[in-house]
Amino acid sequence: MIVLDLRDKRPIYEQVVEKLSQLIVCGVLEPDSKLPSVRSLAIDLSVNPNTIQRAYAQLEQDGYLYTITGRGNFVADSSSWKKGRMTVVENDLRQALKEARQTGMSRESVDRIVVEIWGEE
């Protein structure tokens, strides 16, 4: 399910957040499905349970998860996280386009790349 890269400079909890959010966005983890317990996932990944708790807390804050006390953590409906995710993507895209313009990339090059990537689906 999740493979961590110990050579990655990012903290482990950020890697867990990234991997789980990708699984949620791609639909591998369906809405209302139960996630492994903090202890269980920590054992599976050989990390401290506090690391998993921090990742789950971040995912809940970002709208990807919800918690039911005494029952565990569950995948939230896409309406909870989709708007926030789209805002992040839009901001990243704006920043990338500003950098492309500053480096002298032409509009035609950017359009070609967008069409190429969009067509990959």
Provide CB contacts within 8 A for 53, sequence distance 6+.
38
- pLDDT tens, residue by residue, 72-116: 999 999 887 888 788 888 999 999 999 999 999 999 999 999 999
Look at the alpha carbons of 62, 64, 74, 14 in this order and tell me if their dihedral is positive or negative.
negative
Q: What is the mean pLDDT of residues 62-66?
A: 93
pLDDT the model gives residue 33: 96
Supply the DSSP string of 45-75, one letter for each residue: HTS-HHHHHHHHHHHHHTTSEEEETTTEEEE
Q: How confident is the model at residue 6 (pLDDT cuts 50, 70, 90)?
A: confident
- pLDDT tens, residue by residue, 12-52: 999 999 999 999 998 899 999 999 999 999 999 999 999 99
Give the span between the Cα atoms of 106 and 85, in whole angstroms. Answer: 28
pLDDT the model gives residue 118: 87
pLDDT the model gives residue 121: 57
pLDDT the model gives residue 81: 83
* CA distances to 22, 79, 90, 107 from 60, in Å: 14, 13, 21, 39
* 29-59 exposure pattern, b = at least 16 Cβ within 10 A, e = fewer: beeeeebbebeebbeebebeeebbbbbbebb
